[in-house]
Amino acid sequence: MILTDQMILNAIEAKTIVIEPFKRSCLGSNSYDVHLGKWLGTYHSEVLDAKLHNQIGLIEIPEEGIVLQPHEFYLGVTEEYTESHAHVPFLEGKSSIGRLGIDIHATAGKGDIGFCNTWTLEISVKKPVRVYRGMPIGQLIYFEVSGSVVTPYHTKRNAKYARRGEHPVESMMFKNFEDLSLN
């Protein structure tokens, strides 16, 4: 079941959902609009290696915006910090963003119960398009779950994306290989 606006407000009051900053005007009938933060990341290497820590460079989006290019891959970040302690959050692009040819995630649209952070966006574009920090970029949808959670995401020993930050976070896939070597 997807939470309605009233259920999202109830969960915020109960502190099982946290959205900072929260603006009532961003709450839809069954979703909450999130905005593009001021940082983009791009990988330094032309060829990425899943076993290595691929480093990114940060670009601050200027007030006049920045033109994203096709055949480039950008990591963005939401302005909003969120926590979800009893519901599964899903991040989807807004239809207006899709109609500009912007994809905001390649595969990682689902969060886990216990995810407490800003959202890193995996941005690609079909045509050159100018984007601006603070523009609506996506919407969070919350799903009710059945049963209790044994280990919320932020308490997992191997939670790779649990450190709070305002910058996009590069892939931590290499840590999976490190974990395998410890077994």
Q: Which residues are designated catalytic? A: 122
What are the CA-CA distances from residue 36 to residues 41, 118, 150, 167, 170 (Å)?
13, 11, 32, 11, 17
Burial 15-47 (b: 16+ CB within 10 A, else e): eebebeeeeeebbeeebbbbbbbbbbbebeeee
Q: Are 34 and 91 in contact (CB under 8 A)?
A: yes
The strand order across the sheet containing 17-20 reads: 17-20, 81-84, 116-117
